[in-house]
Amino acid sequence: MNAPNAKRIVAKWLLGALFGTFLIALTSPLFVRSYVPSRLDPLRGVLVLQSGHFYRWRSEGYATTAIGPHGMPGRVSLDATKPANEIRLAIWGDSQAEGVGVADEEKLHRQIERIGKQSQHTITALPLARSGDDAADWLAQIPRVESALAIDMHVILVAEMVDLEAAIATSPDTSPEIESSQLAAQNRIASNVPAFVIQAIRRVLRTSDDTPRTLRFSPGPIAEEPSPTGTLTIDQPDWSAVMQRIRSASDRPILLLYSPRIHRKSLTRIAVDDDQPTGDSLAEIKQAAHSAGLLLRGVTEKLVDSAENNRWPHGFHNGIITQGHLNATGYAIIASEIVSEIELDDFPVH
């Protein structure tokens, strides 16, 4: 190959690479999530997305979320003074309650307010859920925000009962240690590096569940995990202690709203995930909550009924329906249950 031909091939290759990169950059907002700077919220004591930004999500849903004060997804403002007739709720939970895959107008807090208005109630719901949070995170934040945000009632959306066990598994009174220099570096990357570049690097270094990716090859024999011997015993949680710990976090009403993920077990049967409590075990949890002075309500039957009528309350994940997060239909069911509970139970407005 002579020099002119080689230069021509290299030039075409570079031009193709540049054009391909430009095309990816131009279309990536349609397919790639965004990365938003974070900050330590002084009131909540946890890392939240910075207000004023828009968080784009493109997995198990397709939405852009406006980030408001205290990192609240979908609520861009909050009145400093609460009207006398307003009922103010704090919504806690994990990514199932966070709702970044759902349009702001259809998020859980907006549907609660909309249904409440139809029922002649002035309700303001504060979306304080964060992806990955459990009871230890919620109980640490509740005393911090309760008076400052004039909370009248706490609503904890429980998708998996195991999240409640963290109430006694870890201390809820310690704030996370955050390295300011590391946070600043992450924020610089989020602000200055295109999202599709960050995503490409993450896919190389991390797995889909955000754990470090390991090499598929290495010198020497492949290490094998030893097979477990004997009978595996699973300690049952002390639900009475769990509920008492949750109750001790606040003297205001706390509603535990159980919303398990459901799936189709056969062509004719829809049920909750197999690892979720049912029957006697669920009755034990309900009794423990009642004894502790907590409200525990479930929407399992309503979710199943909705799915049986082809109105699935969960979205897609890896192409499989019901395996994703709650969608607008699921939030409508949960919001109706929460407003109904407010109508049934009188509680003081602070």
Q: What's residue 223's pLDDT? A: 63
Distance CA 172, CA 167 (A): 7
- Separation in Å, CA 145 to CA 70, 76, 225, 311, 327: 10, 17, 45, 36, 27
Rg (CA), the chain: 24
Confidence at residue 346, expressed as pLDDT on a 0 to 100 scale: 62
Determine the pLDDT at residue 126: 98
pTM over the 0.75 mark:
yes
Token pair listed for 181: 């220099």
Q: What is the pLDDT of residue 349?
A: 60
In sequence order, what are the residues at sequence separation of 6 or more whose Cβ sits closer than 8 angstroms to the Cβ of residue 92? 128, 129, 133, 138, 141, 142, 154, 155, 156, 157
Can you give the length of the chain in residues?
A: 350
Three-state SS at 153: strand
- Residue 293's nearest CA partner among 341, 246, 224 is 246
Q: Would you state the pLDDT for residue 49?
A: 97
Give the whole-angstrom CA distance, residue 92 versus residue 89. Answer: 10
Q: Name the residue among 74, 75, 61, 97 with its Cα closest to residue 299.
A: 97
Ranges under pLDDT 50 in the chain: none
pLDDT confidence of residue 20: 85
- What is the C-alpha to C-alpha distance for residues 14 and 9, in angstroms, rounded to an integer? 9
- Whole-number pLDDT of residue 21: 85
Q: What whole-number distance in Å separates Cα of residue 254 and Cα of residue 229?
A: 43
Class of domain 73-176+236-344: alpha beta
Type of residue found at 186: Q
pLDDT for res 62:
84
pLDDT at site 65: 97
- Predicted confidence at residue 12, as pLDDT, reads 86
Neighbour count for residue 86 (Cβ, 10 Å): 15
Instruction: At 260, list the tokens.
Output: 């398990």
What values do phi and psi take at 91, rounded to 5?
-100, 120
Of the candidates 248, 256, 243, 260, the residue with the CA atom closest to the CA atom of residue 295: 256
Question: For the segment 200-212, what is each residue's pLDDT rounded down to a tens digit?
Answer: 888 888 887 778 8
Q: What is the pLDDT of residue 93?
A: 97
